[in-house]
Structure 1
Amino acid sequence: MLRAGSGAPGGESVLFAGFRALGMYSGSLPHVLRFHQRHREFYLVVAVGSSFHTYNVSDPSPLPSNALLQDITCLAADRMLVFASYGSLLHAFARNKEVVHIYEGHKADIHLLQPFGDHVISVDVDNVLIVWDVQSEEEYLQMNFDKAVFAVSAIMHPSTYLNKILLGSEQGSLQLWNIKSNKLLHSFPGWGSGVTTLEQAPAVDVVAIGLVSGYIIVHNIKFDETLMKFEQDWGPVTTISFRTDGHPVMAAGSAIGHIALWDLEEKKLISQMRNAHTTAIAGLSFVHGEPLLITNGADNAIRIWIFDGPGGGGRLLRYRMGHSAPPTKIRYHGQNGQQILSAGQDGTLQSFSTVHERFNKSLGHGSINKKKSKKKGLRYDTLALPPIMAFASVDISTCGNFAVIGLSTGHVDVYNMQSGIHRGRYGKEKAHEGAIRGVAVDGLNQLAITAGSDGLIKFWKFKTTELVHSTNLASSLSGILLHRDSGILGIASDDFSISVLDVETRKIVRKFSGHLGKINDMAFSPDGRWLISASMDCTIKTWDLPSGCLIDSFLLDSAAVSITMSPTGDFLASSHVDDLGIYLWSNRSLYSLVSLRPLPTDHESSVIMLPRTCPAQGICWMKMACSRPSVLQSLFLFFKVCFSLYPLNILVTCKLSHLAIFPSSPLSLPFPLPLLSPLSRLYITILNRLVPTEITSKLVNLGILAQKSDFYIQLEEALRTNEYTSPLNLLKVMGPSNIETELRGLAPEGGGSVEVMQSFLRLIGMMLNTKCDFELAQAYLALFLKLHLKITSSEPALLEEISKLSAQLEETWVHLQTLFNQSLCVLNYMKSALL
């Protein structure tokens, strides 16, 4: 599946930009454990899709890497680099993030990796082994094996064996090679079963060999002698690790999620960790010198176990866990927009934090009889409730005391949330003839709304359960969603259309069509202005309710099964078909100027990629400038004007030798430059990045060439007349961006002067003296200080004005406090007086 930081240029959504993915922790690849020499700490590296996460074992918070073009299929690491491959390409990452080396030479997919000092060894599925020089990226050695005789299935470097590697095969035999001389030193006949894993024991010359048959062989490769043999009946051995903290214990993982712990001195099984994972144990590693065991699996979980109790078994110490099966329904919980509740096909209900991973919680499985399952020692799954498929036919009243539940039989019942007692039923026998597709309760607990597959929307009195009104729609319904604050009901129909019903008038006020597949879910923006819909046609569309137009649409490579909008309006979250993650999309309209133009109903959406597990660290300014042709054209014109001041060869020479340049003559422009706008400030920022400081310092200041605005002229006029009503009136009618532009232009570097800045501070003082627009004066002053704090603190005239304003603010606040106290006294008197 494609993943990136945001949509591609020119094909991105107007409203939403990919931010990050939640709930993705582990895949089917084994993890890698590294020790950081300088930090003196262990770090865990786990592949997740097309990137990998690095965790500190003591505090497992992920540090995601940059993404590759495809999902990682093999992972390894040494003390400096992390090696990851997809297809036939091998990549080396430095600082756990950036690709610094790419190794090309394999003709088939790589499936085994082994770091080897200054080299790295890779084996592909065609049985070709290549030894690479890490720094030069050159091929040091290539070895070909006959798959019919020796298909390489495992690789390791025996401890203290210089220039030697041990290879295991699917046929069961092993080979010890010297890769410097390219010689086969010894062949081991094997034990009649394919080798799945090789692991170095704490003792030199001793290797543990895991077999497909479930046997574990502890073998001395120096004397070709088997020291001990263990058997587990859970299928193939997937991974092996040894304790190194003084306890002779070996742990072995299985294909069904169990872990066996073997005592190497007494040669017996000492403990079993059943159901450590719900899928095969992909990776299993003891932390060196500590009683900690780290495991990961394809069930999207990383678990750290500690062995500090009697019996030799481990208990769960820390974990990071997501859904092991795709989420079916997600909803924001709470008013701060920081928690997302997610129900998955694995039967679990989980809470994901959009702030930090440590706040994630697993609310567990629902059980038919949890007490019985614990008492009888039964498998948990035998009494577990089926997966939560939807929240659609359940709603909780605004007061939180009642739950309204719709059934597939057409019944709608009301239950008390605390006691579970049945409190009522809508309709004499059934509320609808067909299955209930959705229920909702209004914001005042006055109405209950039910939708059925019979195409009827029914309104009931919540308390008396009497039918108030019924609306018949042309097609069968697939779901409803109520925005309680505005009383707007969104209705999804089986004909792929969306209707909007006003609860107050009980009439259809809007109808949208444009989806080409079943509508899976809907979400309202917090203000009720937008209705966002997700369909099986892989599109997510945003409809503007006041205008009745489609304003945004984007296409994904997999259909969204559920969407939800943050109560604060900053993020849209989505979950997708056959995907374990929850994806966050940031609302562009909150932090940038967005032009929302109506789109045609047959608008062909552009495909964008799902976000990665971390937000993009920054947006390339050139990409931002080039995303719109008009901006690019203005940018080119601006550069043409600025760079025409100097010959190109002088600019290049100055960039190399940092020579000072002085303009020979003043600039003569054939046209007047417009007033500085926010876009002009972007141009100046780009110019400062492109041209060295020595050059930009000698360029003509654009503020000097800029025409004076009306507000600037009025401030200059007020310096003489001491009359500030006109500039204040001009400022009041401006928008936020224009106000910021005007205030930026007051500084000398923006074409202004200290005197004009002083005039603006006097304007604020006038507003405080008149005791009008107190909050507005505070806002103007805060923005002024934010923009010009440095120059204000360095100019004595401005410091004097600021001191006067500070005294005025104190006096004004004392006056306001007096008014507050008077009002509170009057209110208290009115409440207590016997009138």
Structure 2
Amino acid sequence: MSTASKIFVPNRALGFVSNHIPLETRYIERRKESVIVTCVGRHFHTYGAFHFTLLNISGEHKEDITALACDRYQVFSAAGNEILAWRGGTHIKHKYLGHNLPVHLLLPFGAHLVSVDEGSCLKVWHVDAEELYTEVQFDPASFEVSAIMHPYTYTNKVLLGSRQGSLQLWNLHTRNLIFEFSGWGSGVSVIEQAPVQDVVAIGLADGRIIVHNLKFDQTVIDFAQDWGQVTSISFRKDGPPLMCTGTNAGHIIVWDLEKKENVDQIWNAHYGPVTGLKCLPSEPLLVSSSPDNSLKMWVFDMADGGGRLLKIREGHSLPPTYISFRQRDQIFVAGADSTLKVFSTVTETKNHSYGRAVHNKKAFKRMKNKRSPDAPLVMPPIMELAYETTREKDWDNICALHRGLAEVTTWSSDKGCMGDHKLLHNRFKENPAFHSAVASSVCLTLCGNFVLIGYSSGHVDRFNVQSGAHRCEYKLPKGKPAHKGAVRGIATEGLNQTVVTGGADAYIRFWNFSEGKTLGRLPLKQAVAFFCQNKNSSLIGVALDDNTVCVLDMHSRNIIRRLPNHYSRLTSMVFSQDARWILTSTTDCKIRTWDVPSANLIDIFKVPLPVTRMALNPTGEILATAHADSLGVYLWFNKAIHMHVSLRPLPLDLDPELLELPSQGFNEVEILDTNLEEMELSEDVYQSPEQISEELITMSTLSTARWVNVLDLDVIRRRNKPKEAPKAPAAAPFFLPTIPSLEYKFDLRPTLEEQQQEPALKAVSDLSRLAKMLSEAQNEESLVAFLKTLGPSTLDSEVLNLTSSGESVEPLNKFLDLVLFVMNRKKEFELSQMYLALVLKHHGDQCIADTALAAKLESVKEIQRNEWSSLEKHILYCKSVVHALKRL
């Protein structure tokens, strides 16, 4: 039996934009647009430059992509020692195999492709033939290839740079070394062709940029940047003689080649090194990418010629710390980079960022290096978030709890930015004993007016969200805090009558919402780890420190269910919308689904990385998970929404199969394309028998619309009869024949002849198909199957024409035998009643007049009386039980 998940299948991943592999650009003549290709692990994304939207996602590679390159028609990608050529960004056109080590450099070269692996083995491939053209092996100890470029107008020649600092110009057609450049005492990191013939820019590992003339082996300009290695170089191609370079610190430097000076610096353009930098042809646009998971477009339209940010596509630069569904197709994602973003599960064009959490918004806007990951005003990452939509148009409707801070910040989903309030009681400012206290839990009321905050000191406070004013403190008699230890969970019901808090002191306490007085407590065996509330019911999931889960009913104030030990620390928990399921995740990389009414484990699967957060969308279709050391949010599709899934209790010690995380592209969901008739049912799937019991009768699965109105067809036809007869068209068509005469007349003689013949044709009558099948003595099963395929009008016509005037009543006799057969086997019982009623409607008089048919009807009457007596007995018994239960 398979131990993979029966409920969830991988769908796709969100939040990936770029990594350390440099971006590539290509111009598509048909679209009249440049496209940008970025790498994201085992896939690459293609973006359009006009609207900066995602055009397509490539198929999945066997390994992580190590190199990218583009020409006019194809995208080349290297994954390990395999090279693929993609047409349209989605279809594999060619495949090149032959390298023994991973490929890290690719260069399209006319009808050929040049590739270099980590062992400095250079291979030239014929693109269409997929054949090796030539090969050159370099000694990594003396010349380790680190950069490659084809100089303009240099036929069959490529320029290679090495980590040792020297450069070599090779003719690949003759496999001859033409010239070797001694270098400048530092390793070559990047080589870029200048707009001028014979001139290239060489970026070195020590931060120098050498603009060199290859023909005369002379250095034209020598620049130096103060931020270490040159990671990327690009030249403006729209007129101004400007060169842009990227640094490891995330800055972009703009150099004027005529003035030989630095004219602009884009500070902290990225949180990480600027590994990709490309100027678009004939436009003042620069595109940059970085391992910080962002792709940015800069436009040079400032008065001083400098650049500014024009468009951006970005995910989180550090792993997510919190996720929650905002709507059915939108997810709140807070990252360890202190940003809050919204990802759409439908299209990435709806993704947007709420910005970074900062201590002072005005001072942060004036900072020069505000994009720096360690900016001094940036707050710690968001660890928990409370959200309500009730008053989102009026004031802030999001409250965020930050790591290691007592302050709770407010955000507005309507404005899409951080709010002005920072909620903090004065005791944490004035009393030195509470200076080390931090906010540990947060809850926003359903009305959107109040936020409740629990602290590590045991205090619980209520604030007004609109004004940020403190309204109430929940405390025990004699002014003691709500809990002796940290408050690890807060919940409130929809009417704002009761507040529930759970703490590290192993108590759950109930409070009067408005007065802040205690209403009672519930002791637990272990300390509370965190809460998970289902807002459509009164249930709260309580995770304990002993790795067990309790289900608390706020109304009865009792524990109604206990889930067994998970054997690993719980990291997240979420209810389904109807509160029938609880999903839990643990540090052993397992995700479990529990049935709340029975407290049984019904599904479990394992993932490669531990789950840090989970969220289920309001309709229950999609499960979103965030994982340790991963920048993305992964979506899993719930099969139980669209098909029946047979679920049974599973053993707690079951070792499940490992499911790979969803990829960036859409995964084909098996259940949507599966023919259910051909689906192989597993051993544990219940199959209903054709006949449950011989004492009971079984109804058919035929739709009621196919038989329930058969006896009322005459009434339906009279009701739907048109009120007026159809009228002839006012103007006759031009193609009607005419009579040759002085007057213009149509020749209607063929039509009159057809009308005279029509009554004679109508007088001809024949037996129905059903009568013919009955006369051919076919088996009863095939006859019943034939009747079930007929529509109401066709069935009525078939039974009506069982006999005609002067014909034998034998077909009618055999049809009554068929009705007896259906009644005796007690299947399709309602159909047998309908068939009998239809016969009596059309042939009742004939059945009474014929002695054999009357005797047959007596047999039918006897079977029907016996079956109804048995059925009536069961119905009356069930009715009596129901009445007795109502009186209890």
TM-score interval (norm. to shorter)? 0.7 to 0.9
1:386 alignment partner in structure 2: 380
The alpha-carbon deviation at position 119 of structure 1 amounts to 1.4
The alpha-carbon deviation at position 60 of structure 1 amounts to 2.3
Which SS does the other structure have where 1:60 is aligned? coil
Structure 2 residue 463 is matched with structure 1 residue 415: yes
Larger radius of gyration: 2
- Deviation readout 1:13-71 (Å, 9 max, x if unpaired): 21112111111111111011011122221111111111111111112222111101221
Structure 2 residue 453 is matched with structure 1 residue 405: yes
2:166 alignment partner in structure 1: 173
2:598 alignment partner in structure 1: 547
Whether the 8 Å CA contact 2:186–2:205 is kept in 1: the answer is: yes
Which SS does the other structure have where 2:303 is aligned? coil
Which SS does the other structure have where 2:485 is aligned? coil
The alpha-carbon deviation at position 98 of structure 1 amounts to 2.2
How many pairs were matched up?
661
- AA aligned to 1:385 is M
Structure 2 residue 587 is matched with structure 1 residue 587: no
Q: 1:754 to 1:445 in 2, by over 3 A?
A: closer
2:512 alignment partner in structure 1: 461
Q: 1:759 to 1:82 in 2, by over 3 A?
A: farther
The alpha-carbon deviation at position 303 of structure 1 amounts to 0.5
- AA aligned to 1:344 is G
Task: Tell me how far apart the structure 2 counterparts of residues 71 and 322 of structure 1 sit (CA, whole Å).
Answer: 19
Percent identity reads 42
- AA aligned to 1:87 is G
Task: Tell me how far apart the structure 2 counterparts of residues 21 and 491 of structure 1 sit (CA, whole Å).
Answer: 29
Task: Tell me how far apart the structure 1 counterparts of residues 674 and 703 of structure 2 sit (CA, whole Å).
Answer: 34
RCO greater where, 1 or 2, for CA within 8 Å and sep 6 or more?
Answer: 1
1:661 alignment partner in structure 2: none
1:752 alignment partner in structure 2: 790
1:32 alignment partner in structure 2: 24
Structure 2 residue 106 is matched with structure 1 residue 113: yes
Question: 1:684-763 residue pairs with structure 2 within 5 A?
Answer: 711=702, 719=710, 751-753=789-791, 755-756=793-794
Task: Tell me how far apart the structure 1 counterparts of residues 8 and 166 of structure 2 sit (CA, whole Å).
Answer: 55
Which SS does the other structure have where 1:371 is aligned? helix
Whether the 8 Å CA contact 2:268–2:369 is kept in 1: the answer is: no
| More displaced 10-residue stretch of structure 1: 472-481 or 374-383 | 374-383
Question: How does the TM-score come out when normalised to structure 1?
Answer: 0.75
Task: Tell me how far apart the structure 2 counterparts of residues 748 and 156 of structure 1 sit (CA, whole Å).
Answer: 74
| More displaced 10-residue stretch of structure 1: 171-180 or 76-85 | 76-85
Structure 2 gaps of 5+ residues are 386-439, 691-697, 717-782, 799-888
1:613 alignment partner in structure 2: 664
Q: 1:401 to 1:754 in 2, by over 3 A?
A: closer
| More displaced 10-residue stretch of structure 1: 707-716 or 405-414 | 707-716
Task: Tell me how far apart the structure 1 counterparts of residues 628 and 524 of structure 2 sit (CA, whole Å).
Answer: 29
Task: Tell me how far apart the structure 2 counterparts of residues 478 and 24 of structure 1 sit (CA, whole Å).
Answer: 31
2:33 alignment partner in structure 1: 41
1:58 alignment partner in structure 2: 50
Task: Tell me how far apart the structure 2 counterparts of residues 423 and 717 of structure 1 sit (CA, whole Å).
Answer: 64
1:788 alignment partner in structure 2: none
Task: Tell me how far apart the structure 2 counterparts of residues 313 and 454 of structure 1 sit (CA, whole Å).
Answer: 59
Whether the 8 Å CA contact 2:639–2:671 is kept in 1: the answer is: no
| More displaced 10-residue stretch of structure 1: 176-185 or 614-623 | 614-623
1:258 alignment partner in structure 2: 251
Question: 1:6-405 residue pairs with structure 2 within 5 A?
Answer: 10=2, 12-62=4-54, 63-334=56-327, 337-375=328-366, 379=370, 381-391=375-385, 393-405=441-453
Q: 1:156 to 1:709 in 2, by over 3 A?
A: same
Whether the 8 Å CA contact 1:11–1:607 is kept in 2: the answer is: no
The alpha-carbon deviation at position 715 of structure 1 amounts to 5.5
Q: 1:127 to 1:465 in 2, by over 3 A?
A: same
- Deviation readout 1:567-615 (Å, 9 max, x if unpaired): 1222111111101111111221121221122212222221111112232
Whether the 8 Å CA contact 1:286–1:294 is kept in 2: the answer is: yes
Task: Tell me how far apart the structure 2 counterparts of residues 322 and 52 of structure 1 sit (CA, whole Å).
Answer: 15
Q: 1:200 to 1:627 in 2, by over 3 A?
A: farther
| More displaced 10-residue stretch of structure 1: 149-158 or 85-94 | 85-94
Whether the 8 Å CA contact 2:787–2:795 is kept in 1: the answer is: no
Question: 1:431-446 residue pairs with structure 2 within 5 A?
Answer: 431-446=482-497
Q: 1:71 to 1:717 in 2, by over 3 A?
A: closer
- AA aligned to 1:386 is P
Q: 1:481 to 1:630 in 2, by over 3 A?
A: closer
| More displaced 10-residue stretch of structure 1: 492-501 or 595-604 | 595-604
Structure 2 residue 585 is matched with structure 1 residue 534: yes
The alpha-carbon deviation at position 723 of structure 1 amounts to 9.5
Whether the 8 Å CA contact 2:267–2:369 is kept in 1: the answer is: no
1:602 alignment partner in structure 2: 653
The alpha-carbon deviation at position 710 of structure 1 amounts to 7.7
Task: Tell me how far apart the structure 1 counterparts of residues 705 and 332 of structure 2 sit (CA, whole Å).
Answer: 55
Whether the 8 Å CA contact 1:396–1:402 is kept in 2: the answer is: yes
| More displaced 10-residue stretch of structure 1: 262-271 or 620-629 | 620-629
Q: 1:582 to 1:747 in 2, by over 3 A?
A: farther
Question: 1:649-668 residue pairs with structure 2 within 5 A?
Answer: none
Q: 1:713 to 1:507 in 2, by over 3 A?
A: closer
Match of 2:556 among 493, 505, 509: 505
The alpha-carbon deviation at position 426 of structure 1 amounts to 1.4
Whether the 8 Å CA contact 2:3–2:655 is kept in 1: the answer is: no
- AA aligned to 2:469 is I
Q: 1:721 to 1:578 in 2, by over 3 A?
A: closer
- AA aligned to 2:41 is G
Aligned Cα RMSD in Å?
Answer: 3.0
Which SS does the other structure have where 1:520 is aligned? strand
The alpha-carbon deviation at position 421 of structure 1 amounts to 1.4
Whether the 8 Å CA contact 2:441–2:488 is kept in 1: the answer is: yes
The alpha-carbon deviation at position 513 of structure 1 amounts to 2.0
- AA aligned to 1:366 is A
- Deviation readout 1:119-155 (Å, 9 max, x if unpaired): 1111111111111122222221111111121111000
1:786 alignment partner in structure 2: none
| More displaced 10-residue stretch of structure 1: 90-99 or 561-570 | 90-99
Whether the 8 Å CA contact 2:611–2:626 is kept in 1: the answer is: yes
The alpha-carbon deviation at position 618 of structure 1 amounts to 6.3
Task: Tell me how far apart the structure 1 counterparts of residues 37 and 2 of structure 2 sit (CA, whole Å).
Answer: 35
Q: 1:266 to 1:133 in 2, by over 3 A?
A: same
Whether the 8 Å CA contact 2:11–2:669 is kept in 1: the answer is: no
Which SS does the other structure have where 2:381 is aligned? coil
Q: 1:180 to 1:759 in 2, by over 3 A?
A: farther
Q: 1:557 to 1:714 in 2, by over 3 A?
A: closer
- AA aligned to 2:339 is T
Which SS does the other structure have where 1:755 is aligned? helix
Whether the 8 Å CA contact 1:715–1:759 is kept in 2: the answer is: no
Q: 1:543 to 1:83 in 2, by over 3 A?
A: same
Whether the 8 Å CA contact 1:514–1:602 is kept in 2: the answer is: no
Which SS does the other structure have where 2:195 is aligned? coil
| More displaced 10-residue stretch of structure 1: 573-582 or 433-442 | 433-442
Whether the 8 Å CA contact 1:718–1:759 is kept in 2: the answer is: no
